[in-house]
Amino acid sequence: MDKIQAAKSVVRKFHAQLDARDANLDAVMTAFSGSDFLWRGFHPFGLIDNPEAVANQFWAPLKQSLTSLQRREDVFFAAENSLDADRAVWVVSMGHLVGLFDRSWLNIRPTGKMASLRYCAFYKVEQEAIVETAMYFDVPHLMVQAGMNPFPPQTGTHMVQPGPMTHDGLQVDPQPAEEGARTLAAINRMIADIGQWDSGMSLEDELRRSWHEDMLWWGPEGIGATFTIERYAKQHAGPFRAAFADRSATGHICRLAEGSYGGFFGWPNFTARPVGGFMGMPATGQVGEFRVIDIYRRDGDKLAENWIFIDLLHFWKQQGVDILARTTHQDLP
C-alpha cells in the first residue's frame, strides 16, 4: 500500500471509531493522534494542541446535542501537500454531521428535529497517526436550521448543500496521478486570477478563464449558494471585491488534489479591510482574517463546483461584533 492509500486507511478507521454510538472519545482521539498534535477549529474553538481537549470540548458536546450522530460524507480524497517541501500527505473529508438536535450546543437552541452541521476536515497523516487537523464547520448554517438568523438577508441561497453532481466524490481507491495534476493546475490558475483582483477584464470574463459557465458555488451561511458565472459574479464575487480593500497575498497551509477533486485551507488564507457594506454589515476599516477551506470539483480543464467554509463568526468578532453571543443572547469567550 502506498503512503496516500495508507493515510486514507488511517482516517477511515479513525472516522469509524469516532462515529460509533458508544465511542470512548478520549481514547479514540488519543489512539489516532501523533505526538505533535494540533487541531484548528472555527470560532469559538480555535487552536487546540491536546487530543483529549478536542474530545471534551468539541466532540463530546456535539454528540450530546446532535444525538444519533451520523457522518454523511460527500467528498474524500488524499494527496501530497503541493506547498510542503517534505510532500506530507493530507486526507480530506467533507460532508455533513447529521443528528437529532435534542440539546443546546454553543447556546444554539435545540429543535428536537433532524439537523445537519456542514463540515470539512483536512488531516495530516504521518507514521499512521494524525498530527494536524483543520476541522472547519458552518455554525451559522446550523443556527438558521434552528430558527435563529445570525445575519441580515444573504445574497445567495440558504440550503442543506448536496455533494457533487457527479456522485463520485468518495475517492477511496487510487486515482490517476495525471488527473490530480490537472485539478491542481486548474485551482492554481484560479488562485492567480483572484490574486490580481483587477485584471482589466470584466469579472465574468475573468471567471470564465477558470470556471464553467454553469458553475455551482456552495457558499457559507451568511453569503449562501449561487449558480452560473453571471449570478456568482452578481451575488458574491462582485459584492465581495467591492466591499474590501488591501487584500493580502494568499497564505495557504495546504493545497492538494487527487483525481478531479482538490482544495486548500489557510489560517488565515488572507486578510482584508472592509471599506464597503458586506453581508448587510457596516464597514469598519479594520483589517480582519479570513479562515477558509475551499473544495473543488474539476470537469475537463475548468472548475465546475466549489464548496466553501469561511469562519465568519471569527471575522466579524475581529470587527467588534460577536455574532454568536448576540444571536444566542449569551456572553461567550
Secondary structure (DSSP) of 45-108: TEEE--HHHHIIIIIHHHHHHEEEEEEEEEEEEEEE-TT-TT--EEEEEEEEEEEEE-S-BTTB
pLDDT higher for 95 or 330? 95
Structural domain contains residue 85: yes
> What would the mean pLDDT of 89-93 be, rounded to a whole number?
98
- Considering the domain architecture, whether residues 135 and 205 belong to the same structural domain is answered as no
- Considering the domain architecture, whether residues 136 and 186 belong to the same structural domain is answered as no
DSSP secondary structure code for residue 144 in this structure: H
Instruction: Give the pLDDT of residue 282.
Output: 82
- Considering the domain architecture, whether residues 186 and 294 belong to the same structural domain is answered as yes
State whether the Cα torsion 281-286-289-294 is positive or negative: positive
**pLDDT tier, 333 (very low <50, low <70, confident <90, very high otherwise):** very low
Cα–Cα distance, 182 to 327 (Å, whole number): 43
Instruction: Reply yes or no on whether the pLDDT at 200 is more than 90.
Output: no
- Considering the domain architecture, whether residues 132 and 241 belong to the same structural domain is answered as no
- Considering the domain architecture, whether residues 223 and 113 belong to the same structural domain is answered as no
- Considering the domain architecture, whether residues 201 and 133 belong to the same structural domain is answered as no
Structural domain contains residue 333: no
Q: Is 244 helix (H, G, I), strand (E, B) or coil?
A: strand
Domain that holds residue 62: 3-145
Instruction: Give the pLDDT of residue 195.
Output: 61
Structural domain contains residue 101: yes
Structural domain contains residue 203: yes
Count up the domains in the chain and report the number: 2
**pLDDT tier, 259 (very low <50, low <70, confident <90, very high otherwise):** very high
- Considering the domain architecture, whether residues 71 and 115 belong to the same structural domain is answered as yes
Structural domain contains residue 127: yes
Report the chain's mean pLDDT, rounded to a whole number: 95
Structural domain contains residue 164: no
- Considering the domain architecture, whether residues 182 and 139 belong to the same structural domain is answered as no
Structural domain contains residue 21: yes
- Considering the domain architecture, whether residues 188 and 312 belong to the same structural domain is answered as yes
- Considering the domain architecture, whether residues 138 and 265 belong to the same structural domain is answered as no
Task: CATH number of the domain at 289, please.
Answer: 3.10.450.50
Instruction: Reply yes or no on whether the pLDDT at 330 is more than 70.
Output: no
- Considering the domain architecture, whether residues 7 and 138 belong to the same structural domain is answered as yes
User: pTM to 2 decimals?
Assistant: 0.96
> What would the mean pLDDT of 222-227 be, rounded to a whole number?
96
**pLDDT tier, 193 (very low <50, low <70, confident <90, very high otherwise):** confident
- Considering the domain architecture, whether residues 183 and 234 belong to the same structural domain is answered as yes
pLDDT digits (tens, 9 = 90+) for 7-42: 999 999 999 999 999 999 999 999 999 989 999 999
pLDDT digits (tens, 9 = 90+) for 300-313: 999 999 999 999 99
Q: Give the start-end residues of each E strand in the chain.
A: 33-41, 46-48, 66-80, 89-101, 114-126, 129-137, 211-218, 225-227, 244-245, 252-258, 261-266, 270-274, 288-290, 292-299, 302-310
- Residue written as grid cell 453569503: 223
